[in-house]
Amino acid sequence: QKEVEQDPGPLSVPEGAIVSLNCTYSNSAFQYFMWYRQYSRKGPELLMYTYSSGNKEDGRFTAQVDKSSKYISLFIRDSQPSDSATYLCADQGTSYGKLTFGQGTILTVHP
Amino acid sequence: NAGVTQTPKFRILKIGQSMTLQCTQDMNHNYMYWYRQDPGMGLKLIYYSVGAGITDKGEVPNGYNVSRSTTEDFPLRLELAAPSQTSVYFCASSAGSGVFETQYFGPGTRLLVL
């Protein structure tokens, strides 16, 4: 079983749609949960991170963690074509900031 | 600040050849990492370093070597290239001073082994 599972998609939505991206994880030692955004042929960049269960909102983006079910979600409201990218969930344990990534979900928002 | 820079951007290697992927950061970060990204597979950690002179293996270290003689540089060495090493390689760094630190990624090096 992979430590972090993510549906690779691809996911295609119209502009303005609400997008839901999801991951599950198996390692209970994970403490920090991140979403990275990666544009084509670029390096990943941190979008949001959360610690412990609950919601965190940043503009049109909301990250949600449910540690009891080991489920991580990212919601994008009013999606824009500029949101088209690969979204990677990642988990961090306690050791030297090492990250475990999901496979990434390719999102396309069409006008 | 240039952040994390990587060279070369793209390289074709023949099986059995060697090469060094260069990574430099100008943020005075203690922690540095090398990841590889295969299509549809996310990123996997190859090696990491918590400071000059200190390195350790990640999830997929076989076929690679690293060194860290300065805070700024963290080169990744491929000794005998194999087709399985065809991938996109990303270097990242973080301050490493707190419980959680953002990792900043370079633009990547695309490697094709034929």
For chain B, give the percent of residues with pLDDT over 70.
98
Pair of tokens at residue B67? 């060194």
Residue B46, pLDDT score: 97
Residue A94, pLDDT score: 66
Tens digit of each residue's pLDDT (9 = 90 or more) over A27-53: 887 788 999 999 999 999 999 998 878
Taking an 8 Å cut-off on Cβ atoms, the answer to whether A44 and B105 are in contact is: yes
- CB nearest to A103's CB, from B41, B104, B105: B41
Taking an 8 Å cut-off on Cβ atoms, the answer to whether A104 and B31 are in contact is: no
Read off the pLDDT band of B2 (50, 70, 90). Answer: confident
B66 touches chain A (CB under 8 A): no
What is the DSSP annotation of B4-73?
EEEE-SEEEE-TT--EEEEEEESS--SEEEEEEE-TTS-EEEEEEEEETTEEEE-S--TTEEE--SSSSB
Read off the pLDDT band of A1 (50, 70, 90). Answer: low
Read off the pLDDT band of B41 (50, 70, 90). Answer: confident
Taking an 8 Å cut-off on Cβ atoms, the answer to whether A88 and B43 are in contact is: yes
Tens digit of each residue's pLDDT (9 = 90 or more) over A80-107: 999 999 999 998 876 778 889 999 999 9
**Chain A residues touching residue B94 (CB < 8 angstroms):** 97
**Chain B residues touching residue A41 (CB < 8 angstroms):** 108
